[in-house]
Amino acid sequence: MLREIVRTIAEGQVHSQVELARWLGVSEGLVEQMLEDLARTGYLKPMGGESTEGCAGCPLAKMCVASRPRRAWVLTEKGRKVAEGEYN
């Protein structure tokens, strides 16, 4: 299921943790735990959610995940390799 999360993020099929939980048919809590595990093992890195100072002048600030107190996730190089099928 972790590979499926990595591939789903790589393909841009979901845009939130709630959507990812629905897509996978699991709880949001489980998705959060899996995302943290993927980050800890180097497949994902969190982006945004820590500071909104740089967002104040942005016209997209109200729609952007980075301006909210939750994190967005991006693939690392290791994560991209999994998404592309280079790792088993």
pLDDT at 52 (0 to 100)? 47
| CA-atom Rg of the chain in angstroms | 14
Provide the mean pLDDT of the chain: 78
Q: What is the pTM of this model?
A: 0.68
Measured CA distances, 27 to 19, 32, 34, 50, 83 (Å): 10, 9, 11, 24, 23
Going from the N-terminus, what domains does the chain have, and what CATH number goes with each? 2-83 (1.10.10)
Looking at residues 48-71, what average pLDDT do you find?
56
pLDDT at 56 (0 to 100)? 61
- What does the pLDDT look like over 25-51, one tens digit per residue? 999 999 999 999 999 999 998 876 544
Binned at pLDDT 50, 70 and 90, residue 1 comes out as confident
